[in-house]
A and B are shown apart, each in its own frame.
Chain A
Amino acid sequence: MSPAIEERHETRDTDLGDEELRARLSRTWGSARGLIGILSTVDHKIIGIRYAVTAFVFLLAGGIMAIIMRLQLARPDSHLVDAELYNQLFTMHGTTMMFLFGVPVGEAFAVYLVPLMVGTRNIAFPRLNAFSYYVYLFGGLMLWGGFALSIRPDVGWFSYVPLANLNFTPGKGPDYWAQMITFTEVAALAVSVEIVVTVLKQRAPGMTLDRIPLFVWTMLVHSFIIIFAMPAIMLASSMLIMERLVGTQFFNPDAGGDPLLWQHLFWFFGHPEVYIIFLPGTAFVSAIVATFSRRPVFGYLPMVLSLIAIGFLSFGLWVHHMFVTGLPEIGAAFFTASSMAIAIPNGVQIFCWIATLWDGKPVLKTPLIFVLGFFFIFVAGGLSGVMLASVPIDTQVHDTYFVVAHFHYVLIGGTVFPLVAAVYYWFPKVTGRLMDERLGKWQFVLAFCGFNITFFPMHLLGLHGMPRRVYTYPAEMGWGGLNLLASAGALLFFASFLLMLYNMIASARSGALAGDNPWGADTLEWATSSPPQPQNFDRIPCVTSGSPLWDQGDDNVVVGGLKVDERELVVTSIREARPDIREESPAPSIWPFLAAFATAVAFIGSIYTPWAITWGSPVVAIVLVAWFWPKTIEENV
């Protein structure tokens, strides 16, 4: 008995042939079956898929809210929904799209793809990863569960005080909103830390800083932005809860507080938030443009520097959301300059992608077509953003439908179009099957027309004086025609997502088999099977180029010496990615799920009584102790 175990523990990947190695690694890295197994998994691919599916469900939910609003606004003086419900709808729509869809969907792709792209076997801190997913899920369920039980926030996705204070908004709606923020931010911070460590310490040997795929660079910058931006909103939402629960006076001018403090804190997070949502879109575009042009993206260095510049600049723009609050003019003018400045690194990225397409031989498959839609829409949205950066122009269009049009151009154009492209692009990797091209092109026609018909007229509505967040408008304002047009477009746009859903389900069942690398792409996720084995790679690749699958051809250089029957991965140095040590990666555990559950109970309880923190903390602490309890390696294989 004991010599056998001894021997098995000494087995290294260099000792085995391909077939046997694959089978044994897959057993070592696999997840158990059964309910406990499902809740215990720490496989970044499974968690990434859960993140993505959950985010898509919230996308549909938020989309349905939008459709109801568009039906209400299609005609003047409409009574389809009343003011109360309408205010709940736009609050839930904005909140869901920003916090439960926009941020998590970027994380979903990062969690799934970054470990594959850097050539490692699992994400760093995989149990934290599982924990973060459950926290996100519970936060989303809490908000929507509350909605179903008529506990509905109705003060907008930025919950300005004093409107969100107890005396103007009694009921628990804003508390659920604020606590949902806490949930999703805890989740986002956890994922960001994992991504940063994965990128800096777990890259395949030889993947020096200048060989990191642009996708991964983007996600790295994205994660750093989250780490610096999220604390501001967690502070703000906690202050709001305290204001409402125990009567602190942070925002009350009569007690020495200031309602603008909320706006500063919110937008200090809120503007980086735009880039938190948008950067994953650029990550998808970089990957797709390179693959379908058969060229690495033109200007690797300017691209990376632009990303980092965007990361820094995104923290210096927040006041452009507050131009009409009566701030000192010189201060406001500074933020005009900084807001315009961020157009420069964004422009650099656009020019680099266009240069890549010019230089290569573009293949017009669905992913690239959606990326072309991204150019058309996002550039328009970016340019209307330059208008909003100007203080005088902003005094006219701020808080009107012009702004609604602008940020949908930027967020849908900048994130959702690349996202759909990314779904078509990576679907074969995740499921092993290709999505239908013909349906994909129809979907593009629907989405592109629907989007522009919906949101272009909103620019004009805003200029003609229609403010945001009005549940109805009098007929004599003359806004009826454009609103009707926008509503018709919204139906088309929504239909495009139903078509995508159908395509995904049908293709997952009976789509054409994809093989490892159906698009002839250059990054490492395409070097493994589709779908990838639990261990990602049977042998850890060595990287000698920025486009390993194009340049390294068949010379299959790999790193050897990892244990086969234990979860081991290679830790490399930050700059040169020299192999440093073999590190054990945590095994599945139920404790992250239980910790998330305990955290959720404490958070939800604290909406009702501050004592929930007192009683909840020891429970969370006990669960965390169990989670981190040192164990000897399990030997019950």
Chain B
Amino acid sequence: MASLTAAAGGSALASGCTGVQSALNPHGERADALAVLFWIFTAVLGLVWLVTMAGLFFALTRRRDSRGEPAQAHPAVKRPVRIAFAAMLTSTVIILSGLAVLSFDGQRAVFGDGAGAAVTISVIGHQWWWQVRYEGNNGFETANEIRIPVGSAVDIKLTTGDVIHSFWIPSLAGKLDLIPGKSNELRIQADKPGVYRGQCAEFCGQQHAHMAIFVVALEPSEFERWRAKQAAPARSMAHLAKQSVFASAASSPFAALSEHSQ
């Protein structure tokens, strides 16, 4: 049943609305926090823009003494102008400080170390595909797709086999680069089953545009079943990399996604 839901969710997402890969369509704790922060910033800064434009409009259209106030080069600067200037400057400082504090707070929420992750997955970037390695005793590999259990924190260890890439699943979390000689770690979590698309966000050469990745969130029981199944034949399949997943996709929730990843 869960797999049907996932497939339906996946195809609905894929069928045209802009939520396929959207930071404004969050489905995980961190992406939620980021979207909220984004909207707060947008509201506050939008207001600042409106007030500034209103000031400009007022400056241009205010009634002037039409009885030939001479084009005097150095009039005594009027008191209201100075007061308005000081007020604008003060509020700029206050608003920016407020936003900075919100940003620091958001940073802590997004990057803060929670409890240990339920699953740790290594993702290795290549021109132009993603190698996915499930660590552990019964480790196995897939390509361009990550399956995770719904509702659990998953740590993704990011390294690269060649150039710099950037791992980004907008609906689940912000992006993080894969850099030679460096290992980065990103935590993702999905709130409900579904297929979440992402793609490489750092220009990595000719086919950068086609370096997509899918995160498939399954119900925990479903995930465990899948993992157990993968672990058994994993050794023989590891080197088949890309094809292996698609080969097994026909009977799984990935019917929808293998369609649009080809």
Contact = CB atoms under 8 A, between A and B. Distances in A.
Contacts of A20: none
A468 B168 CA distance: 13
Contact of A355 (B17, B72, B85, B198): B85
Interface string B209-229: 100000000000000000000
Contacts of A355: 59, 81, 84-85
A470 interface: yes
A445 interface: no
Given A168-B162, A399-B202, A260 B179 contact: yes
A448 to B, nearest CB: 14
B247 interface: no
A391 interface: yes
B200 interface: yes
Q: Find the residue from B17, B18, B41, B64 having the highest chain A CB count within 10 A.
A: B18
B39 to A, nearest CB: 10
A393 B45 CA distance: 14
A396 B23 CA distance: 7
Interface in A339-375: 340-341, 343-344, 347-348, 350-352, 354-355, 357-359, 361-362, 372, 375
A347 B127 CA distance: 43
Interface in B104-133: 104, 106-107, 109-111, 127
A463 interface: yes
Interface in A137-174: 154-156, 160, 162-163, 168-169
Contacts of A375: 52-53, 56
Given A359-B78, A395-B174, A344 B96 contact: yes
Given A336-B100, A467-B199, A395 B176 contact: yes
A347 B92 contact: yes
Contact of A476 (B16, B184, B205): B16
Q: Find the residue from B17, B106, B206 having the highest chain A CB count within 10 A.
A: B206
A162 B163 contact: yes
Contacts of A465: 20-23, 170, 197-199
A340 B164 contact: no
A296 B73 contact: yes
A307 B15 CA distance: 51
Nearest to B64: A361
Given A253-B180, A260-B179, A163 B204 contact: yes
Contacts of B209: 83, 469-473
B77 A359 contact: yes
A387 B23 contact: no
A392 B23 CA distance: 12
Interface string A474-485: 101111000000
B142 interface: no
Nearest to B198: A465
Contacts of B96: 340-341, 343-344, 386
B73 A295 contact: yes
A169 B204 CA distance: 11
Contacts of A469: 203, 208-209
B214 to A, nearest CB: 13
A386 B162 CA distance: 33
A442 interface: no
Q: Interface on chain A toward B: helix, strand, loop, or mixed SS? A: helix
Contacts of A344: 89, 92-93, 96
A358 B107 contact: no
A386 B56 contact: no
Nearest to A473: B209
Given A162-B164, A467-B201, A390 B99 contact: yes
A163 B177 CA distance: 14
Interface stretch (A9-17, A310-318, A376-384, A528-536): A376-384
A379 B45 CA distance: 10
Given A359-B81, A476-B15, A390 B180 contact: no
Interface string A390-424: 11111111111000000000000000000000000
A87 interface: yes
A472 B208 CA distance: 10
B175 interface: yes
B87 to A, nearest CB: 10
Interface string A439-468: 000000000000000000000000111011
Interface stretch (B1-9, B30-38, B145-153, B236-244): B30-38
B200 to A, nearest CB: 7
Contact of B20 (A160, A347, A476): A476
A524 B220 CA distance: 76
A549 B256 CA distance: 73
Interface string B55-70: 1101110101000010
A400 B201 contact: yes
A344 B95 CA distance: 10
B156 interface: no
A328 B130 CA distance: 25
B107 A333 contact: yes
A337 interface: yes
A494 interface: no
A603 to B, nearest CB: 27
Interface residues of B, number: 88
B203 A468 contact: yes
Contacts of A341: 96
Contact of A474 (B72, B107, B200, B260): B260
A551 interface: yes
A551 B73 contact: yes
B111 A163 contact: no
Contacts of B31: 396
A566 interface: no
B181 interface: yes
A52 to B, nearest CB: 29
Contacts of B14: 476
B103 A155 contact: no
Q: Find the residue from B75, B78, B107, B111 having the highest chain A CB count within 10 A.
A: B107
A329 interface: yes
Nearest to B53: A376
B88 A347 contact: yes
A400 B176 CA distance: 13
A327 B78 CA distance: 49
Given A294-B73, A351-B85, A478 B18 contact: yes
A362 B85 contact: no
A344 B180 CA distance: 37
A348 B22 CA distance: 36
A92 to B, nearest CB: 14
A326 interface: yes
A393 B85 CA distance: 30
A386 B102 CA distance: 12
B229 to A, nearest CB: 29
Contacts of B102: 390
A555 interface: no
Contacts of B111: 329, 392
B180 A395 contact: no
A344 B93 CA distance: 7
A84 B206 contact: yes
A466 to B, nearest CB: 8
13 contacts: A163-B204, A253-B182, A259-B181, A324-B201, A341-B96, A350-B52, A361-B69, A383-B49, A384-B45, A467-B201, A469-B209, A476-B16, A551-B73
Given A162-B180, A347-B89, 7 more contacts: A87-B208, A259-B179, A326-B182, A379-B52, A396-B23, A465-B21, A469-B208
Q: Which 5 A-B pairs have the closest CB atoms?
A: A253-B181, A395-B174, A465-B21, A470-B209, A358-B59
